[in-house]
Chain A
Amino acid sequence: MHLFSLFFSSICLQIRRAEFTNYIGNKNKSNISLGLIICGLLYSTGAYSNQHTQTVESQLTEMKIADHNEAAWRAFNISTVENYIIPAYATLAESNSQLHATTQAFCQSLKPSSEAQVELNLKSAKDAFHQSMDAWQYIQNVNFGPIEIAMRSHSIQFWPDKKNHIGKQLLKLISDKDPSALMANAFENASVSVKGLPAIERLLFNDELFGAFENKTFSCDVLVGISRYLMNTSTSLHDEWKFTMLPQFKDAKQLDGYFEDDIDAATSLLKTLVEPIEVIRDLKLQRPLGSQFEKVKFKRFESWRSERSLKNIKLNIQSLETLFIGTPAKNKGLQLLLSDNEYQAIKENFNKVLNNIEQIESPLKISVLTPSGYQSAEALVASLTVLHVNLETAITHNGIRLGFNSRDGD
């Protein structure tokens, strides 16, 4: 304590010297009293602070799991990218190629073919749209990396569309009949609202404005143009993940790399597991459900025109479950990185969410109009919250901080 007294006395002198030399000239008298107050308090609090200092020093020895587990996280990262992300983008690219081919076939069949043939080709195009949307919903959670470039995520699916941008832009595009809007790369530069899956959905699923293709070859050309853009973009996404992103995960500490280290890379992947659950709950369910039964707004559901709102959610959750569990033959997901209890509990939470989805009748836009259907949707909201909280807690507990400043901000 003697040492401390000596130390703090000298600090008090310092403070007082500073006051005398350069502090508000006419206030010297009261400044001395401030100095004295401060000195007095320093004596009484020195021991307090020192004690806490030691508490922290002792924590130094307590190196947490993540530091030791860097290699394990790296293995998880590489396996997740190789066996989950890249194959999912490959499926998206294939589906969109198929969509492009079928829309082309449909448009070519408009003039010379029989009505039955046109119907058949329209059905193929609709099926292809569903395949593409399935593939997109499965990888929608990955919101970092190549998808961030040039608003690709919005371009593939502009949703929610509160101000009906898609309707307005699409109508303008079709009524302008400007051939340059159909040139090879025209859709690269078009508004984000007209070059994605929701625009195709409007064209194919009998929207009042765009439903009839007969004698409207221009709208059909727009349809083909959008699917060409989707094909090109998803092929690029796949290639960029394969050739640019994967090496970043294999050597996360490389200079001028995308990540700082393996933990940073794992954090990016784990955020794509945890954060989408809130998005699904808030945007895909709670926003259309409103605050109470009487306030349902079914047009706020995602993909309500093609009646696949519930299927989208199911695919989202199945995808997250695969990211969590891994693909059995090739990787073990988070199994090796969480405790057995945590892992089992979260697996149960996933089951509960998927069971709740099964309880709801599709299409969602109809089933939530009954009290029991609305309740089932609310039960799904609740189980998503539990899943979100438990996942986040388990991941934090195992040494990965998904965010501190990013939540409950000020």
Chain B
Amino acid sequence: MLTRRYFIKGLALSPLASSAYAKSFTQELSPLNLYSAATDNQGQHWLIITNSIGEISNKLRLPARAHEVFKHPKLDLLCVVARRPGKYISLVHAKSGSLIKTITPSKGRHFYGHGLFTQDGRFLVTSENHIKSGEGRITLRDCSKDFEITQQYPSHGIGPHEIKLSFDGKTLIVANGGIKTHENDGRAKLNLDTMQPTLTYLEFSTGILLEQRFLPEDLHQLSIRHIDINQNDQVVIAMQYQGDKTDQVPLMAMHTPGEEIRFLKAPPSTYQAMKHYCGSVRFDQSGKYAATSSPKGDLVTFWDISKGEFIDKARCRDACGIAATSKSGFIISNGMGKLYQYDLKQKQLFSLATQSGSTFYKSTSSFANTAQKLKMSWDNHLSINLQT
């Protein structure tokens, strides 16, 4: 029989470490703001802005479920993109939470839930679907011209999802998920047998195809959905498997421009525990490590990108949103409305809200105005603003 210590700690199943540590980490974190979409138990959708301990400072009712929220690099401006098939983008004041402007997709288009502002703050870039043809599109809107569309080009794939810019801002990297969805509902999957996901590099200013990477033929049902990029333009890829439920497949990969896509190494039991699904992926501040969430497996996994392998896992129920902190770690949000912090040095997951009291529950119950108390579920993605 395994000892208790091996059983509980050795398998990294422990969700929470002692609060003494958590307290010091929480203090290091502040000041910061977190942004995320959320859904309450009445099925209403919200943009939520919190402080460093997860207390809600502002919220805005949204017309439909949203996906990614990201902040303008220079302005107090948040961009909230509707979940696919997205019919709106809300531009919101980052401090007050007030709606500034709503953008709707052009006729015959929908958003895919992801986008970005260019580093200079000039353009809002979104991944979109040309519904009739089912082909992916990238659209650039000029922030200084009332978000007028100034450039559009193909994403060179079906189902473009998350997009990232290279460090110099000249190359746009697109995760073309490969899944064609039905015209009517934008969600029913039509081409699982023939899907061909790609990681695609486009010249940002022109849309010219620079590089396109495919997966091995036997793994063509691994949808390349979420990506992140580090300071060296290495891309980490978190995938979702659309094949047979019983297949054993890798779900994490990385890519360096000019090379093949490389799968990250992990014990088969770890990939299996991720249940064919990664919800979100982020590099840490150093760009050496990455975290990905597997809400279907109640699991967050951590990866050493320089070595190309798995390093740690933490049990976290329904975890999905991930944001990198300024220290070596991540903040993680889940469907129970809770926030956690993971520290890469200590390899521990802490409750973010733990400030006083000896246990997680006692401490969170002292904060009434949290997503958990409001019965809100944090939606797929979490953003962090490290400056105030």
A403: chain B residues within 8 A (beta carbon): 295-296, 317-318, 335
User: A-contacting residues of B (Cβ < 8 Å)?
Assistant: 1-2, 4, 7-9, 11, 13-19, 39-41, 46, 58-61, 67, 74-77, 83-84, 93, 95-101, 113, 120-122, 143-146, 161, 225, 240, 244-247, 268-269, 272-273, 277, 279, 293, 295-296, 298, 317-320, 334-336, 351, 358-362, 368-369, 373-375, 377-380
Q: Are B98 and A27 in contact (CB under 8 A)?
A: no
Q: Are A236 and B1 in contact (CB under 8 A)?
A: yes
- Using A42-B96, A405-B295, A405-B377 as known contacts, list a sample of 7 further A-B pairs with CB atoms less than 8 Å apart, ordered by residue number in A: A45-B99, A151-B269, A162-B247, A253-B359, A255-B358, A261-B360, A406-B335
Which residue of chain A is the closest to B294 with respect to CB atoms?
A406
User: B-contacting residues of A (Cβ < 8 Å)?
Assistant: 7-8, 11, 14-15, 18-19, 22-24, 27, 30-31, 33-34, 37-38, 41-42, 45-46, 48-49, 52-53, 55-56, 59-60, 64, 146, 148-151, 160, 162, 236, 239-240, 243-244, 253-261, 264, 267, 282-283, 401, 403-406, 409-410
Indicate which residue in B14, B96, B279, B373 contacts A7 across the interface (CB closer than 8 Å).
Answer: B96
- Given the known A-B contacts A27-B122, A34-B143, A255-B359, are A41 and B100 also in contact in the complex, defined by CB atoms under 8 Å? yes
- Smallest CB separation, A52 vs chain B (Å): 4
4 smallest A-B Cβ distances: which pairs?
Answer: A404-B335, A404-B377, A405-B320, A405-B295
Q: Are A60 and B368 in contact (CB under 8 A)?
A: yes
A48: chain B residues within 8 A (beta carbon): 98-99
Q: Are A256 and B318 in contact (CB under 8 A)?
A: no
Q: Are B122 and A24 in contact (CB under 8 A)?
A: yes
Q: Are A401 and B318 in contact (CB under 8 A)?
A: yes
A55: chain B residues within 8 A (beta carbon): 61
Majority secondary structure of chain A interface residues (helix, strand, loop or mixed): helix
A403, B122: Cα distance in complex, Å: 38
Q: Are A410 and B269 in contact (CB under 8 A)?
A: no
A240, B269: Cα distance in complex, Å: 20
- Smallest CB separation, B183 vs chain A (Å): 18
Q: Are B15 and A259 in contact (CB under 8 A)?
A: yes
A282, B245: Cα distance in complex, Å: 9
A24: chain B residues within 8 A (beta carbon): 120-122, 144
A56, B56: Cα distance in complex, Å: 11
Q: Are A410 and B113 in contact (CB under 8 A)?
A: yes
B351: chain A residues within 8 A (beta carbon): 260
A37, B317: Cα distance in complex, Å: 42
- Given the known A-B contacts A11-B76, A59-B375, A244-B7, are A53 and B59 also in contact in the complex, defined by CB atoms under 8 Å? yes
A88, B368: Cα distance in complex, Å: 41
A34: chain B residues within 8 A (beta carbon): 143-144, 146
A151: chain B residues within 8 A (beta carbon): 268-269, 272
- Given the known A-B contacts A49-B97, A59-B375, A162-B246, are A257 and B14 also in contact in the complex, defined by CB atoms under 8 Å? yes
B98: chain A residues within 8 A (beta carbon): 8, 42, 45-46, 48-49
Indicate which residue in A7, A56, A405 contacts B318 across the interface (CB closer than 8 Å).
Answer: A405
Interchain residue pairs with CB less than 8 A apart (25): A8-B96, A11-B76, A24-B122, A30-B144, A38-B100, A42-B93, A45-B98, A45-B100, A46-B98, A49-B97, A53-B58, A56-B40, A64-B41, A253-B360, A260-B16, A401-B318, A403-B318, A404-B335, A404-B379, A405-B318, A405-B378, A406-B295, A406-B296, A409-B277, A410-B113
A256: chain B residues within 8 A (beta carbon): 8-9, 14, 16-18
A110, B8: Cα distance in complex, Å: 45
A112, B41: Cα distance in complex, Å: 70
A151, B272: Cα distance in complex, Å: 9
A303, B146: Cα distance in complex, Å: 64
- Smallest CB separation, B97 vs chain A (Å): 6
- Given the known A-B contacts A244-B7, A409-B380, are A52 and B335 also in contact in the complex, defined by CB atoms under 8 Å? no
- Smallest CB separation, A269 vs chain B (Å): 13
B74: chain A residues within 8 A (beta carbon): 18-19, 22-23
- Smallest CB separation, B366 vs chain A (Å): 14
A151, B378: Cα distance in complex, Å: 31
- Smallest CB separation, B8 vs chain A (Å): 6
A24, B73: Cα distance in complex, Å: 12
- Given the known A-B contacts A31-B144, A34-B144, A257-B8, are A14 and B361 also in contact in the complex, defined by CB atoms under 8 Å? no
A257: chain B residues within 8 A (beta carbon): 8, 14, 16
Q: Are A56 and B374 in contact (CB under 8 A)?
A: yes
B368: chain A residues within 8 A (beta carbon): 60
B319: chain A residues within 8 A (beta carbon): 405
B11: chain A residues within 8 A (beta carbon): 148-149
